[in-house]
Amino acid sequence: MTTIAEDLARLEEIVRKLEADDVELDAALALFEEGVARLRAARERLAAADLKVQSVLEEAGGDLRLKDLDA
């Protein structure tokens, strides 16, 4: 799964390519479709976002364990 940061970076890249004029029409259509999908994914992810707070615990052996914190 991509992160919103990755989606935004890829969207920037897609838009720049589309705005650059030297892309073939077929490629432009493919880019556009990918852009729309990325936009939708990023928006859905923003809408569904719920802050996750976890406490980092170090076990006796040195291993790290994450435990959800009620905050």
Interaction site with another protein (CB under 8 A)? 3-5, 8, 11-12, 14-15, 17-19, 21, 23, 25, 28-29, 31-32, 35-36, 39, 42-43, 45-46, 49-56, 58, 64, 66, 69, 71
In the complex, the smallest distance separating the C-beta of residue 60 from another protein, rounded to whole angstroms, is 14
In the complex, the smallest distance separating the C-beta of residue 49 from another protein, rounded to whole angstroms, is 4
Residue with tokens 């890829």: 10
Buried/exposed 27-51: b ≥16 CB within 10 Å, e otherwise: eeeebeeebeebeeebeeeeeeeee
In the complex, the smallest distance separating the C-beta of residue 6 from another protein, rounded to whole angstroms, is 9
